[in-house]
Amino acid sequence: MAILKVSRMGHPVLRQQAKALTPGQLRQPATQQLLDDMVETMVDYEGVGLAAPQVYQSLRLIVLGYPDADPRNPDDIPLTLCINPEWVSLSDEKELGWEGCLSIPDLRGQVPRSREVVVRALDRRGKPFTLKAGGFMARILQHEIDHLDGVLFPDRMENLGTLSFLEEYYRYWQKSED
């Protein structure tokens, strides 16, 4: 496995509509290696989600969660790989939450997201599955699928007044959340 370089805001790959994978492409050893490398990269960068455009691949692939998630802990998000994810539904109920992004290092902002989502995708072997998620996992899914459509979290912010450098977020904003 390899740790890949993460693209940063401003690179055109982050603003493109990513391409869906065919079953043949999904079975390619290079695609399977990319999925493994994306997980390794996400872990190394201490992220909780990563989309293929963030590693310079304009493909509809996302990885999220923790490889060592404890299934008994409801706050641990299990490692999940989604190929060609599609929205089935997004709840009308929204909530504000802080987000950051490996492609926009050292910035945080409050983003409104649907409280619950249902996503249809393929697993790494091409088997279809449906995932219903709420809370933090729903937020991560929305953030990562946005990457596949060329959308970055500041595009979703309603109030740019919360856009903060990480150091100031920890100093001023996180305290008010505790």
167 is a catalytic site residue: no
Q: Quick check: 35 and 58 in contact, CB under 8 A?
A: no
What are the Cα distances from residue 135, in Å, to 7, 17, 88, 161?
Answer: 27, 26, 17, 23
Rounded CA gap, 74 and 78, in Å? 10
| Residues 6+ positions from 119 with CB-CB distance below 8 Å | 82, 85, 86, 87, 88, 130, 131, 133, 141, 145
Measured CA distances, 144 to 51, 104, 132, 148, 168 (Å): 6, 13, 15, 7, 25
Retrieve residue 159's tokens. Answer: 């109030």
Q: How many residues does the chain have?
A: 178
Active-site pick, 144, 158, 167, 168: 144
Amino acid at 9: M
Query: Which residues participate in catalysis according to the annotation?
Result: 144
